[in-house]
Structure 1
């Protein structure tokens, strides 16, 4: 679908809460994309993100408790009774703890506090045209710290497809591909590549910040394919732009694979592998001047 600046709901009813669109300048472009609230299987992806492949609990009560719920006993509680994420600070290694929610095979009710991301968008968000960063997303209501905001949903693709798409991009095109690496023990690393350029949700319009008010947390619900959920890193005021760190680094710590951003490396101007580094306009006091670039996709 094309982005109609006059439409009342960007999601066309696919979200429980409408996503509004507002244009405040004449510089905004109207990208063509198909709205999808959830991840979809893309080229090279061998797993269907919509397939239920994780076991469920057999709790007899509507609300799961750690004493009797197999999901909570195996993975630990992720949320408090209000649905707020419990672990809001990174470990010394810079990694976040895994989150597993109750799923379609669980016998608990939809009211279970271990069902948050799967309920989808619950906040009033607005896509609008920013002054110097193209389209962006702002919240129309205050958001408490630890609240689930939205997913970064799109096509789940293979490493090879992600590399092909990134190398095929022209300098003026935006790179939407997010590469998430999860470490599960010594030497065990899983990678997920999500591209919302052609199929995606409101998360595709979120801008980067070197001091973000959102952070990304992989959350598994029905499938082993994680959902890339964005939570409030602090209390956020109404009408504030929502931004996250594109590097995927927890607590704003970029992975070692990312290109160094100091001005002495001499790589910013010429780019890498034909890709030009894009300037960062987040305005944060710790801004590194250029958007993150994941070199591991290009190797």
Structure 2
């Protein structure tokens, strides 16, 4: 077994000598073209707590978004991800006075589970767990280059029909028409998350989590109990469906040799839509 992370993760990311596409492994987001903020820079204020673990009554981090985790480091309320509105998740950071064992430090600890990249029967590489994962557990990030809208659009337009599109676009609505958009592309620089396949009935859910930076980390949590050796999947659309229907593509876009193409979904779920999600808002 080979460690794909080459020691960069606390727990090795294993595979059995697979032919992996060339990319640079990095556990965290990195600043890409057009991104005005370095995700590794500490830009959020810290709390002044001096206790071993913070409490909502006195911790400024917890007061910003409310408690997010149980004492067992599991996401407190998975139902928040299914509602129209949810509170943001702010973890304690490098400027906080609390200890490293604070219960509000989960995603920042990185990968803690034994995962394996394997060859699926019909969807290329995938990721499976080598241990049981309880519901609500943090699994891994979807990390890569954080790029601007213009760069994400340029990259997607330059892709051929045969290439995989790894770009994830996350839109966060803060009320009063305020929308924060984050574009993460792990094609060239990324972590184990880039190998996760889509499913119309996934066992992971993506939650934006802020730790040291205003740039969110795209954290994936178990949406149910997951068995050993079960493949890990998430919904590429975020459970919100497509931003625009496939029919909204112009004739020119649909006919361009290098234009966006609907790709069939092979997840095998009972509710499978037949096609992978395609976010056309990047191309608008």
Tell me the TM-score normalized by structure 2.
0.94
Looking at structure 1, the residues matched to 224 and 108 of structure 2 have their Cα atoms a distance apart, in angstroms, of: 22
Change (3 A) 1:66 1:186: same
Deviation at 1:95, TM superposition (A): 4.4
Counterpart contact for 1:271–1:277, Cα < 8 Å:
no
Out of 198, 207, 230, the residue aligned to residue 240 of structure 1 is: 230
Q: How has the CA–CA distance of structure 1 residues 96 and 209 changed in structure 2, closer, same or farther, with 3 Å as cutoff?
A: farther
* 1:258 paired residue among 203, 222, 244: 244
C-alpha deviation, 1:275, in angstroms: 1.3
Kindly provide the CA deviation profile for residues 37-95 of structure 1, in whole angstroms up to 9, marking residues without a partner as x. 00000000000000100010111111111122121122210001111101201477534
Contact 2:65–2:87 (CA under 8 A) maintained in structure 1: no
Distance 1:88 1:55, change over 3 A: same
Q: How far off its partner does 1:36 sit?
A: 0.2
Shift of 1:279: 0.5
Deviations 1:199-220 (A, max 9, x none): 0000000000000000100000
Q: Quote the offset at 1:105 in angstroms.
A: 0.3
CA 1:272–1:139 in 2, change beyond 3 Å: closer, same or farther?
A: farther
**Change beyond 3 A, Cα 1:272–1:195:** farther
Q: Do the aligned partners of residues 93 and 234 (structure 1) sit closer, same or farther apart at CA in structure 2, a change above 3 Å counting?
A: closer
Matched pairs, number = 281
1:187 maps to 2:177: yes
Measure, in 2, the Cα distance between the counterparts of 1:266 and 1:221: 37
1:287 aligned counterpart, secondary structure: coil
Give the match for residue 90 of structure 2.
100
Report if aligned partners of 1:88, 1:146 keep a CA contact under 8 Å in 2: yes
User: Which among 251, 257, 260 is matched to residue 275 of structure 1?
Assistant: 260
Larger CA deviation: 29-38 vs 224-233? 29-38
1:16 to 7, 10, 19: 10
Q: Is the 8 A contact 1:129 1:136 kept in 2?
A: yes
Q: 1:40 pairs with 25, 30, 34, which one?
A: 30
Match of 2:272 in 1: 287
Q: How far apart, CA to CA, are the structure 2 residues paired with 1:93 and 1:228?
A: 18
Cα offset for 1:29? 4.7
Instruction: Determine the C-alpha separation between the residues in 1 that align with 2:168 and 2:81.
Output: 22
Is 1:157 paired with 2:130?
Answer: no
SS of the aligned residue for 1:11 comes to coil
Instruction: Say which SS state the counterpart of residue 212 (structure 2) adopts.
Output: coil
Q: Which residue does the alignment assign to 1:4? A: none
Q: CA deviation at 1:191?
A: 0.1
Which stretches in structure 2 are left out of the alignment for 5+ residues? none
* Aligned CA distance change for structure 1 residues 137 and 95 (closer, same or farther; 3 Å): farther
- Distance between the aligned counterparts of 2:192 and 2:123, measured in 1? 16
Query: How does the TM-score come out when normalised to structure 1?
Result: 0.89
Q: 2:129 aligned with 1:144, yes or no? A: no
